[in-house]
Amino acid sequence: MPVFEYTALNTSGKSVSGIVDAESALSARQKLRATRVYPVSLKEVDDAGSRKARGPSRLPQLFTRVRPTEVMVMTRQLAILINAGFPLVTAMDTMLAQTKSAAFKKVMARLKDALVEGNSFAGALSLYPNIFSPLYINMVRAGESSGTLEIILTRLAEINEKQVALTNRMRTAMAYPVLMTFVGAAVLFILMTFIVPNITSIFEDMNQVLPAPTRFLIAVSDLLQRYWWVLAIVLIGALAGLRIFKKTERGGRLWDRVKIHTPGVGALVRKMAVARFSRTLASLLTNGVSMMPALEIVKSVTGNAVLATAVENATQEVEKGQGLAPALDDQGVFPYLSIQMIQVGEQSGELESMLDRIADVYEDEVEATVMRLTSLLEPVMILLMAVVVGFIVVSICLPIFEMNQLVQ
């Protein structure tokens, strides 16, 4: 059912705003007037995230998609309201007025409608798989069945906050190196296509063979000056082809395998995946989800096809009666420390808390590694720029030195 955002006047003449679901704009106006609210303006809210949203028009969804931070804030606020004694429907209605995103407001309105119709909260969330992950839906389902929904929502908010905080810290750490890369590439392109041709043109009238570095510089400059658009097309095509290839099942698996086995990068990717696996599994087990369904859920949150396959194979071994630690160890992709900590957790009966500790350890290691790599990237990039610029300067100066020797 369409959802409309309105601005209206109540019987006291005070301006009010909100959203209302109705079959059409006319029905929405009639519905508002029935509650003695008289609409001044009315517009339909765009949708995002549901299965019905997967139509041929993809571009508008780039601008109307629901962001993870919005889900995080909604989860935290919903947990606070329910913990304060608000019924779920009333809490959703209260949050609707505070939601600024038009797309998310419509999603929340439909969630509220589904609750009013008698559906469970988890069932309503499952209508939007692009917004709410299987982890989110299953934890809410466990909370509803155990009567601890406010505790589950608080736990979900904490998980989302930690993941968003880690992602933001990594993006912040990588911002400067990425900016330096683009600026350096732009400066070199301008040097090679505009500055160098003007300087090297003075060597055309020389009746002598130019030094090899100068000839190489002139060849590269001519190539960029004449065929830069071809190089740009090839680069864009290669990136687009790689992106399309990664979206295929075979391509995605191959790309994930390359990332896992790349020196330096592989260890970082593995630690991030293990941290997500451990945090998610700990949350599910803590909140009443049994081991087998929990393992089925967490295999989709690792973010790597190789590790997901390893978890799936380990799940089959656990189903046969094997312990989680030896089942994961047999796959040969999980770090040794994580296997040992899981084994200790199983033997001590504190697997959930041990999984949380594993997540903390690897999240801290990932952050420290990223900070260390970015601190090393800065001088390395400056050094590379210095080498390239130095080569350009030397290539230009060598013929000038030879001319001076001939004059003498």
What pLDDT, on a 0 to 100 scale, did the predictor assign at position 59?
A: 35
- Backbone dihedral region for residue 86 (phi beyond 0: left; psi -120 to 50: alpha; all else: beta): beta
pLDDT in tens, 180-196: 888 888 888 888 888 87
pLDDT higher than threshold 50 for residue 57: no
Measured in degrees and rounded to the nearest 5, phi and psi for residue 278 equal -65, -45
> What is 291-345 written as a DSSP string?
HHHHHHHHTTTSS-HHHHHHHHHHHHHHHTT--HHHHHHTTT-S-HHHHHHHHHH
> Is the pLDDT confidence value at 74 over 50?
yes
Residue of higher predicted confidence among 6 and 363 = 363
What's the pLDDT band for 58 if we cut at 50, 70, 90?
very low
Instruction: Give me the pLDDT at residue 61, please.
Output: 40
∠ CA 322-325-327, rounded to 5°: 50
pLDDT at 82 over 80: yes
Mean pLDDT over 168-178 rounds to 77
| CA–CA dist 32, 345 (Å, integer) | 57
Q: Are 65 and 48 in contact (CB under 8 A)?
A: yes
386: pLDDT strictly greater than 80: yes
- pLDDT tens digits, 134-159: 778 877 877 777 677 787 788 778 77
Q: How confident is the model at residue 45 (pLDDT cuts 50, 70, 90)?
A: low
Given a cut of 50, is residue 52 above it in pLDDT?
no
The one-letter code for the residue type at 185 is A
- Residue 3: which pLDDT band, with cuts at 50, 70 and 90? low
Q: Which residue has the higher pLDDT, 281 or 49?
A: 281
Q: What is the pLDDT of residue 295?
A: 84
If one compares 242 and 19, the residue with the highest pLDDT of the two is 242
Measured CA to CA in angstroms, residue 140 lies from 30, 51, 94, 111, 115 at distances of 35, 20, 20, 14, 14
**pLDDT for the residue numbered 1:** 56
Residue type, 54: R
Q: Is the pLDDT of residue 51 over 80?
A: no
User: Where residue 219 falls among pLDDT bands split at 50, 70, 90?
Assistant: confident
Q: Is the pLDDT of residue 356 over 70?
A: yes
Closest CA to 201 of 179, 183, 218, 180: 218
pLDDT more than 90, % of the chain: 2
Check: CB of residue 29 under 8 Å from CB of residue 42.
yes
In tens, the pLDDT along 291-343 reads 888 887 777 777 778 888 888 888 888 888 888 888 888 888 888 888 999 98
Handedness of CA 332, 373, 304, 343 (dihedral sign): positive
Contact, 263 vs 124, CB < 8 A? no
Are 221 and 196 in contact by the 8 Å Cβ rule? The answer is yes
The Cα 385–Cα 188 span in angstroms is: 9
What is the Cα–Cα distance from 7 to 61, expressed in whole angstroms? 25
Does residue 202 have a pLDDT over 80? no
pLDDT at position 236: 92
Sign of the Cα torsion 201, 206, 212, 213 reads negative
Superfamily classification of domain 265-366: Type II secretion system (T2SS), domain F (1.20.81.30)
CA 187/CA 172 separation, integer angstroms:
23
pLDDT above 70: residue 216: yes
First to last CA, the chain: 89
Contact 49, 66 (CB under 8 A): yes
Task: Scan for tokens 């040794």, then name that residue.
Answer: 336
In the DSSP assignment, the letter for residue 100 is: -
Work out the percent of the chain whose per-residue pLDDT is above 70: 88
Q: What's the CA gap between 12 and 80, in Å, rounded?
A: 32
pLDDT (tens digit per residue) in 121-132 = 888 888 888 888
- Find tokens 């041709």 and name the residue: 197
Local structure of 360: helix, strand or coil: helix
Residue 233 has a pLDDT of 92
What are 269's two structure tokens? 């990717």
When computed from its CA atoms, the radius of gyration of the chain, rounded to whole angstroms, is: 29
* Averaged confidence pLDDT in the chain: 79
Tell whether the model's pLDDT for residue 203 goes beyond 80: no
Chain centroid to Cα 99, Å, comes to 22
- Ordered by start, the domain boundaries in the chain are 3-44, 265-366
pLDDT of residue 400 exceeding 80? no
- Those residues with Cβ within 8 angstroms of residue 400's Cβ, 6 or more apart along the chain or in another chain: none
Instruction: Give the pLDDT mean for 337-357.
Output: 89
pLDDT of the residue at 205: 65
**What pLDDT sits at residue 63?**
41
